[in-house]
Structure 1
Amino acid sequence: MIILETIKVKKRFFNFKHPKSYMYLAIGVGFFAMLIIIFNHKYLNFKEVSSIFYPLFGLAVILYFISGILNNFSKEDVEIIKTGKIKISTESFLIDKLEIPFFEIVKLTLVTQDYEGNTKYSGSSFNSMFSAGVDNYIAIATKNQKFKKKVLINSYREIHLLHDFISNQIIKDKFPIVDPKILIAIFTDDFKRTEEARNYIATQIKNRKLNTTEGLLMMNYSSDKEAKELRNKYAL
């Protein structure tokens, strides 16, 4: 059984445990100091004002660059609100107390590529480099209902465990009314190379639910020679 936590996510603007807040603070202080310096230079010309606000502006600039560097190497600053659990057995999904048997599902989508500590490149110093593992969801549709739940993934290994567990149910034909193309999209590249996965894909080709070319591509062969061997092996 696989157990996932469902979540809601809120962005935080000010959280003084995170360096991003000090970037915002530095911008605010620096902008304020710059306005005072300009105003004093244009209208007042007080030396005392300059002696206070020039150093303050300099400190704001230093704070901005230091906190920016720290922010880049921090985990993204979000509030994670846990809302429940999804339990996945060998026969059904259990979303909190609602059980959805596999045979009732008409569409299944897993978007689970993010995990805690995953490196993200955003191109902005305001965004942290490391993920909190919250950009994932599972969507399930039956003939009468639709569910879409954001889930927390704690590690790269957990992603593979989740996909391989569901993939092992797929090759046992436990999702009889889901389009095979949608199901095979859940397979990891490594799983596609297993004998069981390739047998399943070959069966879908012979049942005319996949054409031969796309089916062979889904087997994730590594060379033209292997593709030819697979074609001969499965008489495709």
Structure 2
Amino acid sequence: MRFTAYKYKILGSRLSVTNQLFWSGFLIFGFVFILIILNKELPLFENIQDLLWPFFLVALILLISSILYQFYDFERIESKKDGHIEFNDDGVIIDYSKNFNYSELIEIQFGIDAYYGERINLTYRHPIERKSLGIKNYILLVTNSDTYKFNFKLENELHTKELENTIFKLVKSEKLINIDPKKLIKLVPYRFKKTNEYKSFVLKQIVEKRINCTEGLLLHGYSTDKEAAELRKKYCV
């Protein structure tokens, strides 16, 4: 079991090129529309459409450009590389020098946002940057004496799967002895939750009384009440 990544410190964010194109075009278009309406109420120019036509074209070009460019545009985040993190069989190493065992941890969290180049903002209808820099992922580690929280970069899809594999192996290893088993099970990435390996691990926690039966069966998952009753009869004794 081994996972390594670079830590990043996020300093701020700026409007992406796509956002700049879109909002510039939108504002110019709105300006043109308002002038046309005002000119109807308070006529100033007889040929205002001819005067505003170039502005309309500029707005249209900007809006079309934002629609096309969004699929190639990355989010704009000001950041700097801020160290290194490693998970291995023995424990966690921060910045190559700070070591501690898994048994020292009283809380652990992983926030997986996206890897570098992954498509993001899929729910937005208007043009917006569609590619991630991969640095908004975070890890929280808490011991009795210290708290560490930092962002880290996922380089690609393979790197993301390596992290997910490491999390699953770490949960199964039962080395995180000072963390609530229910919280640990919830750390398991979604793609493992239909596997027999995951289900067997959850049932093991139920049998060993580390989690209660009802919560355990919900985490295990079942398709019918009959299946739930059979699981309860077999493992909740």
Is the shorter-chain TM-score for this pair beyond 0.5, marking a shared fold?
yes
Distance 1:139 1:185 in 2: 15
The Cα RMSD (Å) is: 3.4
Q: Which residue of 2 aligns with 1:205?
A: 206
Question: Taking structure 1 as reference, are residues 90 and 220 closer, same or farther at Cα in structure 2, changes over 3 Å only?
Answer: farther
The aligned counterpart of 1:187 is 188
Question: Relative to structure 1, is the Cα distance of residues 91 and 34 closer, same or farther in structure 2, using a 3 angstrom cutoff?
Answer: same
- Is residue 12 of structure 1 aligned with residue 14 of structure 2? yes
Deviation sequence 1:116-158 (CA, Å, 0-9, x none):
3134234352532343333321111001111111122234443
Counterparts of 1:1-236 in structure 2, within 5 Å, are 1-9=2-10, 10-13=12-15, 18-27=17-26, 53-79=51-77, 80-96=79-95, 97-116=97-116, 117-123=118-124, 125-224=126-225, 226-234=227-235, 236=237
TM-score (norm 2): 0.77
Give the letter aligned to residue 63 of structure 2: F
Which amino acid is 2:20 matched to?
S
Task: Give the conservation status (yes or no) of the 8 Å contact 2:3–2:87.
Answer: yes
Output the CA distance in 1 between the equivalents of 2:91 and 2:136.
Answer: 24
Q: What secondary structure is seen at the aligned counterpart in 2 of 1:201?
A: helix
Contact kept? 1:189, 1:220, Cα under 8 Å? no
Count of aligned pairs between the two proteins: 231
CA contact (8 A) 1:30 1:56 kept: no
Q: Identical aligned pairs, as a percentage?
A: 26
Do the aligned partners of 1:135 and 1:150 also contact (CA within 8 Å) in 2? yes
Partner Cα distance (1:30, 1:194) in 2: 53
Distance 1:40 1:221 in 2: 67
SS at match of 1:55: helix
Letter in 2 for 1:108: I
Distance in 1, matches of 2:221 and 2:160, equals 19
Other structure's SS at 2:9 match: strand
Q: Matched residues in 2 for 1:226 and 1:126: separation?
A: 47
Query: Which letter does structure 1 place at the counterpart of 2:14?
Result: R
Three-state SS of the structure 1 residue aligned to 2:184 is helix
Residue segments in structure 2 that go unaligned for 5+ positions in a row: none
Give deviations 1:58-116, integer Å, cap 9, x for gaps: 22221232123124423442135322221111121212132231110000111114333
| Corresponding residue SS for 1:67 | helix
SS at match of 1:131: coil
- TM-score, normalised via structure 1 length: 0.77
Structure 2 Cα separation of the partners of residues 101 and 212 of structure 1: 30
The alpha-carbon distance between structure 1 residues 99 and 229, as it changes in their structure 2 partners (threshold 3 A), is: same
One-letter amino acid of the counterpart of residue 89, structure 1 = N
**1:188 deviation in Å?**
2.5
User: Amino acid of the residue matched to residue 4 of structure 1?
Assistant: A
**1:109 aligns to what SS in structure 2?**
strand
Is 2:181–2:210's contact at 8 Å kept on the other side of the alignment? yes
